[in-house]
Structure 1
Amino acid sequence: MRALAYGVIFDLDGVLVDSSAFHRESWRLVGRERGFEMSDEFFWRTFGMPNRQILPMLFGNGLSEDAMLELSERKEEVFRSLAAGRIRALPGAIELVRAVTAERLPIALGSSTPRSNIEAILAALGIRSDFTQIVCADDVVEGKPHPEVFLKAAATLALPPQDCVVIEDAVVGVDAARAAGAACLAVATTHAADKLRHAHRVVPDLTYADTALLRSLIDSNRNAPATV
């Protein structure tokens, strides 16, 4: 009997790379330029959300759409400048991506990151060609914890979300994966493991994961009793 198909959807920041320090510093520098401050608590609470969701939380209704777009683009410009030549893959990340592609499993990236950042990071890691499907902040209306990014990523793989496993590091990302109906593997790279306990499995990093684990999480999710 042929095995059922399943897909793997990777987040980017905190899963493939830890770019949180560059994001934190870029917000600090842009805040100094523009006269605002972002607390560490606010940064970590909103980490994994797109800028268009973060900025209204930071400024309320005090910014126009054009001003938010300009500020977002400036922040990402500073981020790319800080990260250029300094981005490194997290432990086990490249190996798991390569294992997934070696088995010819459907693979996608689902991230709140702008496409320009994704392209630069994947190229720097040498894995751009592994991801034929990318759904990013530019492709969705709703940010995490809304499931839109993962629903669209599953659709690009021509699979229902129940046949996919999402790999996430952020609380809002785990919430989004579960809301989509996908299995979720969380890596405790940017958040403590106890904050991610609503994932199907939590591991310290991707050296603890392989394709057998991913398949088992999907099978468990498929076979879980329906909730009312």
Structure 2
Amino acid sequence: MEKLAVIFDMDGVLIDSYHAHFESWRIIAAEEGLQITEEQFAKTFGRTSREIIAALWGQHTPNDAKILELDERKEAAFRELIRENFPIMPGAPELLESLHQAGFALAIGSSGPPENVELTVRKLGPAAHFGAIVTGKDVTRGKPDPQVFLLAAERLGVDPRYCAVVEDAPPGIEAAHRAGMKAVGLASTGRTKEMLAAADLVVSSLKELSPAVFRRLILGEE
């Protein structure tokens, strides 16, 4: 029997990080005399920080060194905001544990930096049964490119056809489909179900998911 896998995006899926990310962007923008609106942020959520900086402030970031500096400062500000009051998504530890007990391979496929992912894994504690972790440092192309999910599947040793992805943003859902995987849309961090309608399944909470749900989704079982 083929091994099945579930790949989790991190921001907006394992942690409710939307507001902390927006605030950290505002902090860095203010320090640089720049601006970012919530509308701009919402459109870029899920992409790598490097891509966001280049898209929003390209005319103010003349070289890669400046982009890298802003990227590192922004992510440090984000970690400082969430370190003491870590916003783990309701139901995340329980879902990860149940999937592990049911024999699923688990991975994180995130556009975030490794330091952010490491912090999340530590906070998840014993439930963090991840056989592969892919971060923004491991890829050269952000979502909707499927690179992050294909690399996670490769590291798990699972055929993409037997993988499902849990995402909260349209670019991530597109990336999952381009990787040949099933996509679950999580509409709980400012995303409506209508925005995630391209997913194979849309839920409002991780508590709606289970090993049986993923098995039906991936294998088409009733």
TM-score (norm 2): 0.95
Tell me which residue corresponds to 2:12.
14
Matches within 5 A, 1:101-180: 101-127=100-126, 129-180=128-179
Structure-2 change in CA distance of 1:69 and 1:24 (3 Å): same
Task: Please tell me whether the aligned partners of residues 88 and 125 of structure 1 are also in contact (alpha carbons under 8 angstroms).
Answer: no
Between the aligned residues of both structures, percent identity stands at: 40
Distance 1:121 1:35 in 2: 31
**Secondary structure, in 3 states, of the residue corresponding to 2:194?**
helix
Alpha-carbon offset, residue 207 of structure 1: 0.7
Task: Please tell me whether the aligned partners of residues 119 and 128 of structure 1 are also in contact (alpha carbons under 8 angstroms).
Answer: no
Structure-2 change in CA distance of 1:73 and 1:80 (3 Å): same
**Secondary structure, in 3 states, of the residue corresponding to 2:6?**
strand
Q: Give CA deviations for 1:161-212 in whole Å, capped at 9, x if unaligned.
A: 1110001111111111111110111110121110101000000011111011
Would you say 1:72 and 2:41 are equivalent positions? no
Tell me which residue corresponds to 1:216.
216
Distance 1:213 1:27 in 2: 36
Tell me which residue corresponds to 1:88.
87
The number of equivalent residue pairs is 219
Q: Give CA deviations for 1:103-145 in whole Å, capped at 9, x if unaligned.
A: 2321111000100011012212214741131011000000001
Alpha-carbon offset, residue 102 of structure 1: 1.3
**Secondary structure, in 3 states, of the residue corresponding to 1:14?**
coil
Alpha-carbon offset, residue 220 of structure 1: 3.1
Displaced runs of 4 or more, over 3 A:
none
CA RMSD of aligned residues (A): 1.4
Tell me which residue corresponds to 1:194.
194
Structure 1 residues not aligned, in runs of 5+: 222-228
Q: Give CA deviations for 1:48-73 in whole Å, capped at 9, x if unaligned.
A: 00011111110235411000000000
Tell me which residue corresponds to 1:38.
36
Task: Please tell me whether the aligned partners of residues 109 and 153 of structure 1 are also in contact (alpha carbons under 8 angstroms).
Answer: yes
Task: Please tell me whether the aligned partners of residues 144 and 175 of structure 2 are also in contact (alpha carbons under 8 angstroms).
Answer: yes
Q: Which amino acid aligns with 1:41?
A: E
Task: Please tell me whether the aligned partners of residues 187 and 204 of structure 1 are also in contact (alpha carbons under 8 angstroms).
Answer: yes
Tell me which residue corresponds to 1:204.
204
Distance 1:165 1:18 in 2: 20
Structure 2 residues not aligned, in runs of 5+: none
